Amino acid sequence: MVATTFKNPFRPGAGHLPPYLAGRTQEQSEFTRLLDQETILENLILTGLRGVGKTVLLETFKPIAIESRWLWVGTDMSESASISEHNMATRLLSDLSLITSSFVLSKEVRSGIGFEPEEVESTQTLTYAMLSRIYDATPGLTADKLKTILKYVWTLVQRTDRRGIIFAYDEAQNLADHSAKEQYPLSLLLDVFQSIQKVDIPFMLALTGLPTLFPKLVEARTYSERMFRVLFLDRLSDSDSRDAIEKPIKTAACPVKFHFNSVDTICDISAGYPYFIQFICREVYDIFMQQADAGQDYAVPIDEILRKLDSDFFAGRWARATDRQRELLGVAARLENAEHEFTVAEIVAMSRQVLHKPFGSSHVNQMLVSLSEAGLVYKNRHGKYSFAVPLLNRFILRQLEAD
């Protein structure tokens, strides 16, 4: 019996910091460079597929920014925040108030009453209620009101030793304009920050989101292309993948060691995607512990782990597709470059080889739009498509083989 208090170190949850963050030093260095800007010429976008570690990396940027004397605000950019310009303004004011509530606006000493001390000090700070009153009292459009608020907050930040404020928002692909309702919250956000940055107020945007994010920003405001530094997070290299697998258990207290064959297997199954590394390693660790207790040799049950991964990660997304859409996705999964990008013409050509009822170009175009809305594929800036979920092609091929 293996007796130990050493817990399984691997954490495959959404946004959970892994026990060892591998392979992201270049992105951290780039963020540090952006922090050194005197005038904010470049804001940050972290983009990539789900499971590449965007949320985790953004969280590692926070202490870097604070150590460099920046203030940090932000949260998930929910769809509700992007319903209207008013909601967007509420989102920004709510986040700002978390730091401005410590800014003292005035102090007043008054005589005590009743059982109070002879003198009582009253302090007024810039709370959410105070920000809201300033916002409501400012004439003009929503953008004018927000610019006034941000300019006022900057006058208070200047009294501290802080260099500026980072506005960090995860899941920013949820941002959108709604022309039919005459609501433009995405354009509002871009206009406000571009305006205040032009007058040398160091308030920087740091947005993370799926690959649909940046094209959406450029569509809303063409100057967005010059406003952001885009960092695309891809899968880890083989050496970084090995570090992510081996370093969390390279400790004397850990009762389990991964043989190099096991590490090779995990690298192959995960294809270097951080979430899959955490998921597979967590399963392998628990299995090895049970095998050790039973006196068995260590062995990675690949089929069983893949079956659980399919059920936990892929099945819900696959359920969004209709039967005919699944046929199209099956065709795309067979393409040689399925893990990278593909074209409508390639799908049409492959469908003629593998389907009794092949697809036409117009039909493929229509279905890819629907699949994009379902979050299964996305269109990049070069007019080509990619799977929006990492290794979805491998999952689809497993489903086809099972069928």
Question: For residue range 232-273, what is the model confidence (pLDDT) as tens digits?
Answer: 999 999 999 999 999 998 876 788 788 888 899 999 999 999
pLDDT at 236: 94
- Give per-residue pLDDT as tens, 134-169: 999 999 999 999 999 999 999 999 999 999 999 999
SS3 state at 165: strand
CA distance 247 to 82: 41
CA distance 314 to 309: 7
Which DSSP category does 81 fall into?
G
Least confident of 67-71, 109-113, 155-159, 358-362: 109-113
Residue 1 has pLDDT above 50, yes or no: no
CA distance 240 to 259: 17
CA distance 156 to 135: 16
Residue 2 has pLDDT above 90, yes or no: no
Mean pLDDT of 302-310: 91
Decide the pairing of beta strands 119-125 and 104-111: antiparallel
Cβ neighbours of residue 22 closer than 8 Å, sequence gap 6 or more: 236, 240, 241, 243, 244, 247, 274
- H-helix or E-strand spanning residue 281: helix 274-293
Residue 120 has pLDDT above 80, yes or no: no
Residue 36 has pLDDT above 90, yes or no: yes
What is the average pLDDT score of the chain?
Answer: 89
Token representation of residue 70: 């920046």
- Of all residues in the chain, the percent with pLDDT exceeding 90 is 67
| 367 close to 325: Cβ distance less than 8 angstroms | yes
Which DSSP category does 105 fall into?
E
Q: Taking the model in full, what pTM does it have? A: 0.86
In this structure, the dihedral spanned by the alpha carbons of residues 161, 135, 78 and 371, taken in order and rounded to 10 degrees, is -120
pLDDT at 105: 77
pLDDT band at 12 (very low <50, low <70, confident <90, very high): confident
Which DSSP category does 236 fall into?
P
CA distance 386 to 50: 13
Mean pLDDT of 319-326: 92
* Helix 142-157 with 128-137: angle, nearest 10 deg: 130
pLDDT at 255: 81
| 196 close to 148: Cβ distance less than 8 angstroms | no
Comparing 298 with 328, the larger pLDDT belongs to 328
pLDDT at 143: 96
User: Which whole-number Å values give the CA distances from 57 to 11, 213, 388, in the listed order?
Assistant: 15, 17, 19
pLDDT at 381: 66
Cβ neighbours of residue 346 closer than 8 Å, sequence gap 6 or more: 335, 337
Residue 116 has pLDDT above 70, yes or no: no
Least confident of 116-125, 152-161, 205-214, 371-380: 116-125
pLDDT band at 117 (very low <50, low <70, confident <90, very high): low
C-alpha 377 chain-centroid distance: 17
Strand partners, 168: 74, 206
SS3 state at 342: strand
Least confident of 62-76, 146-160, 372-386: 372-386
CA distance 165 to 156: 12
Mean pLDDT of 73-101: 92
SS3 state at 108: strand
CA distance 181 to 388: 29
Residue 109 has pLDDT above 80, yes or no: no
pLDDT at 112: 55
| 49 close to 270: Cβ distance less than 8 angstroms | no
Mean pLDDT of 384-389: 92
CA distance 221 to 215: 10
SS3 state at 334: helix
Residue 63 has pLDDT above 70, yes or no: yes
| 78 close to 171: Cβ distance less than 8 angstroms | yes
Decide the pairing of beta strands 43-47 and 228-232: parallel
Least confident of 116-125, 245-254, 354-363: 116-125
SS3 state at 299: coil
Least confident of 107-116, 132-141, 186-195: 107-116
SS3 state at 139: coil
pLDDT at 19: 86
SS3 state at 205: strand
pLDDT at 5: 64
